[in-house]
Amino acid sequence: MPDTETEVTNTPVTLLDDSELLSIVIEKHNQFMGEYSSELKDLEEKIGSGRFEYNRVSKELEALETRLVVLKEKRHQLYFQAGKLRLRLLETISDKEKIQHLGSEIGNIENKLQNANLSSSEEYGYIDSIRSLLKEIIETVPDNDMVQQATVSSILDILETAKAARSELDEMLNAPDEHRKESIALKQEVEDQEARLAWLKRRTGLHKEALGYWENVGHEGATMIDGSGISEGEGQQ
């Protein structure tokens, strides 16, 4: 059989000289530094905004929690004041036997208002009961007794204020939990962003060092030692 000659076609390979390789390495480090610099700026703005929002929500949460404590204490103080006035009123009424059972009933309700864990509807119901009982008591008081009339009026005003405090308390009751969840989420978001920021700063520093080295090589007109050195510079991403 005749010999068969196989024709092999070789594709020419263009080899880059040292200066061209150096330019590629420097360009790559500049590219990464540019990308990191842009992200760094955006992150710093987001972190600043996130910290501001976190501080705002935290202050609102603190104010809400303080207000809830104040409202709870205010209600107890109001019911205590109403009880003191009620005792003062009863002492001024001459026919004490006639209103004794009414005073005792009001006293029992006041004790529940101050010590029992009541729903708003239960609390409002007890307030209405005290109003009705006071109305029965005031019917035994002469119309011309201005002191006793004023005392009853003061008790009713105090009860109305306590009712308003309970209403505000109900409206605010879930607000701290919502603010607390928002505060936790904001804090986590800022911490994640800060971790990313620290990483970017470290990587930027490494690229800056590598860039300085290769630029110095270029300025000195030195020859790059081998490809492993280039790969090391390019690997700092």
Domain boundaries, the chain: 18-234
CA atoms of 230 and 225, how far apart (whole Å) = 9
pLDDT band at 13 (very low <50, low <70, confident <90, very high): low
Q: Is residue 230 predicted with pLDDT exceeding 50?
A: no
- The answer to whether 151 touches 131, Cβ cutoff 8 Å, is no
CA atoms of 180 and 68, how far apart (whole Å) = 14
Q: Is residue 62 predicted with pLDDT exceeding 90?
A: yes
* Four-way CATH pick for 18-234: 1.10.3470, 1.10.287, 1.25.40, 1.10.760: 1.10.287
CA dihedral for 87, 93, 94, 96, sign (positive or negative): negative
Q: Kindly report, residue by residue over 145-172, the tens digit of the pLDDT.
A: 778 888 889 999 999 999 999 999 998 8
Mean pLDDT check: name the lowest of 41-55, 167-181, 185-199, 207-221: 207-221
pTM above 0.85, yes or no: no
Return the pLDDT at 93: 80
Phi (first) and psi of residue 234, to 5 degrees: -75, -25
* CB-neighbour burial class of residue 79 (10 A; exposed 0-12, middle 13-18, buried 19+): buried
Q: Is residue 52 predicted with pLDDT exceeding 90?
A: yes
CA atoms of 182 and 154, how far apart (whole Å) = 42
Q: Kindly report, residue by residue over 96-152, the tens digit of the pLDDT.
A: 777 888 889 999 999 999 888 899 999 999 999 999 999 888 887 665 677 888 888
pLDDT band at 224 (very low <50, low <70, confident <90, very high): very low
- The answer to whether 186 touches 61, Cβ cutoff 8 Å, is no
Mean of pLDDT over the chain = 82
